[in-house]
């Protein structure tokens, strides 16, 4: 059996897993869509679980290849690194490939984690998370506790992820003309980076991180 058959199975499985989820999708349905016989899944992948895991890995690989994180030159300011990181995340989540099965499958896996979550995190997501932590290391006092840096990183990622996970609710809340005027990827990048830099600037001033919000006029 050829690599072409394997590729057809992966492409068919990706779309079906994205629409139906791991549990509801069947090997028979996937093989029918791939125009392959039932034995092909066992030959190429062993079982449905391995096929799903390989499909998840392919989805993330394709997203990364479509929008790679560009290397930055030596001595690039951490603020610019943060901007590039946020822009890349937004482009991967909301860019021109947003409607293909890769985005839908990744979103489903985030909302309904399966057996693929752990290898997905370790192989693909953790390296990007560590990269964001390394950027934050350049911007925060050296004594900043790891758990604080991790929460800051999650706050930044969460701002990007919100527009992917809650896109339909954003579309209901914000009229289309307002979204076109102020919610493009460029607009979101500018807001998320500036919002995050403002918080990071305040955190850097206070190594103990004892600051709290003071209502305007009550300082």
Residue keyed to tokens 């021109």: 96
The answer to whether residues 63 and 113 touch, using CB atoms and an 8 Å cutoff, is no
Q: Which tokens go with 120?
A: 């997905």
Q: How far is CA 89 from the centre of its chain?
A: 6
Model pLDDT for residues 42-75, shown as the tens digit of each residue: 999 999 999 999 999 999 998 888 888 888 898 9
The first and second tokens of residue 76, run together, are 């690039």
Model pLDDT for residues 4-15, shown as the tens digit of each residue:
999 999 999 999
pLDDT above 70 for 97 = no
Which domains, from first to last, does the chain contain? Answer: 3-46 (1.10.10.60), 64-205 (1.10.357.10)
For 29-46, write each residue's pLDDT tens digit.
Answer: 999 999 999 999 999 999
Q: Would you state the pLDDT for residue 1?
A: 47
Neighbours of 85 (CB within 10 A): 20
Q: 120-169: per-residue pLDDT in tens?
A: 899 889 999 999 999 999 999 988 899 999 999 999 999 999 999 998 99
> For residues 163 and 93, is the Cβ–Cβ distance under 8 A?
yes
Give yes or no for a contact between 157 and 89, defined as CB atoms under 8 angstroms apart: yes
């Amino acid at each position: 059996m050829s690599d072409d058959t394997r590729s057809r199975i992966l492409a068919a499985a990706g779309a079906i897993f994205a629409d139906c989820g791991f549990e509801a999708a069947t090997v028979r349905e996937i093989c029918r869509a791939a125009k392959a016989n039932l034995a092909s899944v066992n030959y190429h992948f062993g079982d449905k679980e391995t096929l799903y895991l390989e499909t998840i890995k392919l989805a993330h690989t394709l997203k990364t290849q479509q929008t790679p994180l560009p290397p930055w030159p030596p001595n690039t300011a951490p603020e610019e690194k943060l901007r590039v990181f946020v822009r890349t995340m937004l482009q991967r989540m909301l860019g021109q490939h947003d409607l293909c099965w890769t985005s839908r499958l990744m979103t489903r896996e985030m909302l309904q984690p399966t057996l693929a979550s752990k290898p997905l995190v370790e192989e693909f997501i953790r390296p990007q998370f560590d990269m964001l932590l390394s950027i934050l290391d350049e911007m925060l006092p050296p004594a900043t506790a790891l758990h604080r840096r991790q929460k800051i990183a999650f706050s930044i990622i969460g701002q990007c992820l919100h527009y992917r996970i809650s896109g339909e609710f954003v579309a209901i809340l914000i009229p289309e003309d307002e979204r076109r005027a102020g919610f493009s990827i460029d607009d979101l990048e500018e807001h998320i980076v500036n919002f995050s830099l403002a918080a990071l600037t305040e955190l850097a001033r206070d190594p103990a991180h004892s600051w709290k919000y003071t209502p305007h006029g009550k300082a």
